[in-house]
Amino acid sequence: MTMTEQGTEAGADEKLCVSCGTNEVSTEPERAETARERVNRRWNELLQETRVAQTGVQILFGFLLSVAFTPMFHDLGTFERAVYVTTVVLGAAATASLIAPVSIHRFLSGQRMKDEVVEAAGRLMICGMVLLALTIGCTLLLILYVVVPGPLAVVLVGSVMLWFCLCWYVLPLRLRRRATRRPQCRHGMKRSDASA
């Protein structure tokens, strides 16, 4: 490890980079992680995220499938039916994307391809989350268009989708960009950001 705790002069939270001699402020101790530990940690995190997303999409998809068998479904107009079909297709695609990591893992288990599995599963999760957001948006449009027909339904759905976009995509990307802008010492290690 290239970081050592500096003695009494700097205090417990400051570290001296042995490679370049700069002080770094850390709010928590950094732990060296091997490549195998990192890929295992990433896989476990991905599994936890997948469990949360899978439950939501499966409940929503089940609800959507049951709508076609209700008496009120036959009273829907062409627009509502088109939105319903689009929503069911998006829900099916979201379900496939969010469950795919399980299938990939099962087929490739024991093949020493965990890096590739984690990478593919991560991309499928992102794709599945986009499809899930679109499914939720279409579901809202279908329901709100029946309850409050006209432009108000579109405005409400647009507002909710904007909120989804901010929470699910803009905020994480902003945080990611902020992390990449942290200064690096000469040997390439990121300096800890005390305000993060």
**DSSP annotation string for 133-150:** HHHHHHHHHHHHHHHSTT
Per-residue model confidence (pLDDT) at position 51: 82
Least Cα distance to 65 among 91, 99, 95 occurs for: 91
Q: Tokens 């984690």: give the residue.
A: 118
Q: What is the pLDDT along the chain (196 residues), one digit of tens a residue?
A: 444 444 444 444 445 444 444 555 555 566 787 888 888 888 888 888 888 888 888 888 888 888 888 888 888 888 888 999 999 999 999 999 998 888 888 888 778 888 888 899 899 999 999 999 999 999 999 889 888 878 899 999 999 999 999 998 899 899 989 888 876 654 455 544 444 4
CA distances from 6 to 23, 138, 181 (A): 9, 56, 25
Least Cα distance to 90 among 68, 62, 61 occurs for: 61
Enter the tokens of residue 151.
């432009």
Least Cα distance to 115 among 13, 46, 172 occurs for: 46
Contact 164, 133 (CB under 8 A): yes
Per-residue model confidence (pLDDT) at position 23: 52
Enter the tokens of residue 8.
């009494």
Enter the tokens of residue 147.
């309850």
The pTM of this model reads 0.69
